Structure 1
Amino acid sequence: MPSISARIPEDEERELAEVIEILGEDKSTVIRKALNEGLGSLRERIAIRRYQAGEISVNQAARLAGVGIAEWLEIAREHNLTTQLKPEDLESDADAARKL
């Protein structure tokens, strides 16, 4: 497994120590979990912004967010996103669904 190094502010280091204690897990595990959750959140936020701007289709937004189409539609509903579908998007999304 590759290794990375990062400098963090003291307040974040204290917060990390608190979470390590709460979870009762080692530092590396907690950092991996935080990174995984944070990256997922970031991907979802980017997908929401780009979908809302009409830059990407439902299928593209789901892929960008790292979720299935059904889960993406639930995310879109929770954020009151209006559908940005064009006829060609429907065809593309239907083709993608058929491949599943």
Structure 2
Amino acid sequence: MYYTVYMPSISARIPDDDESELESVVELLGEDKSTVIRRALEEGLTTLRRRNAIERYQSGDVSVHEAARLAGVSLAEWSEIAREHNLTTQLSPEDVEADADAAREL
């Protein structure tokens, strides 16, 4: 039995320079244009999520648990990201308790 995977279709206008870069990467990877665009979008969205989480964590807007959730990673993965970026923030006792509660739920 075969199943069809539904994927929504989108269209976007891109500058000529990006089109040239896309063609270059398509050739480099030896994959079709749609696959390369999907991979680039996935990797780009991951990067944007992590960058936002890093900025919000460092500014003290979010706790460790919330930063991990925003980044779409586990607490262990977030700890590695925080270490790699030398992230520090001032957490309130409430934030520490909330993070401890979240860790206990795992």
TM-score by length of 2: 0.88
Aligned residues of 1:57 and 1:84 also touching (Cα < 8 A): no
Aligned residues of 1:62 and 1:69 also touching (Cα < 8 A): yes
List structure 1 segments (4+ residues) > 6 angstroms apart after TM superposition: none
% same residue: 74
TM-fit CA distance, 1:84? 3.0
1:40 aligns with 2:46: yes
Partner in structure 2 of residue 13 of structure 1: 19
Of residues 49, 60, 63, the one that matches 2:55 is 49
Partner in structure 1 of residue 82 of structure 2: 76
Partner in structure 2 of residue 2 of structure 1: 8
Deviation track 1:8-55 (CA, whole Å, cap 9, x = no partner) reads: 001100100111111111111110100000010011111111111100
Unaligned runs of 5+ in 1: none
Structure 1: which amino acid aligns with 2:81? I
Bigger radius of gyration = 2
Aligned residues of 1:51 and 1:84 also touching (Cα < 8 A): no
Quote the Cα distance in structure 2 between the aligned partners of 1:41 and 1:24. Answer: 23
Quote the Cα distance in structure 2 between the aligned partners of 1:59 and 1:28. Answer: 35
Of residues 72, 84, 91, the one that matches 1:66 is 72
Supply the RMSD in Å over aligned alpha carbons. Answer: 1.0
Unaligned runs of 5+ in 2: 1-6
Aligned residues of 2:59 and 2:89 also touching (Cα < 8 A): no
Partner in structure 2 of residue 26 of structure 1: 32
Quote the Cα distance in structure 1 between the aligned partners of 2:90 and 2:81. Answer: 14
How many residues are treated as equivalent by the alignment? 100
